Amino acid sequence: MIHTETERKFLVKGTAFKDEAVAAHRIKQGYIARDNGNSVRVRIKDTTGILTIKGPSADEISRTEWEIEIPLPDAEALLKLCHGGIIDKTRYIVPEGGTLSETSSGRVFEVDEFYGNNEGLVMAEIELEKADDPFVKPEWLGEEVTGNRRYYNSYLSLHPFKTW
């Protein structure tokens, strides 16, 4: 299904977010193709393979995205075709406001703790309906880096955090 993803990205201070996490997933991903803001990504999330195609960002916050689940052996084979390094991270799912309840927005922060050449980088994203939607900002949320391409995973796979 094709949809428009509208998200804001932030650096994360400390590890307090882990106490609020309701789930964690190990992710390995790479990029098969990149051109003019378009990308084709293969990801293994725990034991699930996912193929994603993203369009260019018109406003640095929103972009078109299409995803489909693929068999794990296919995802493993496709990772070997990727250009640049493989992104390795744990993604923590942290409810906005600290809890998922009937009164909450249902939105979550996806907090990525990176390993390997991107070790030391921790970023949070929150997906919104509109870029200017208000949301609860936890204390551990740091500087906003939305639109800063250095913090895109596709950039990090070619220019690891440890080399900055």
Environment class of 151 (CB within 10 Å of its CB; exposed 0-12, middle 13-18, buried 19+): middle
DSSP percent split of the chain into helix, strand, coil, nearest 5: 20, 50, 35
Gap between the Cα atoms of 37 and 57, Å rounded: 7
Of the residues 31, 92, 115, 152, which is catalytic? 31
Residue 47: CA count within 13 A, CB half-sphere: 0
Say how far apart CA 160 and CA 85 lie, in whole Å: 8
At residue 98, the 3 state secondary structure works out as helix
Cα 120 to chain centroid, rounded = 16
Total count of residues recorded for the chain? 164
Asked if 151 is an active-site residue, the reply is: no
Nearest to 86 by CA among 34, 152, 156: 156
Give me the active site residues, please.
31
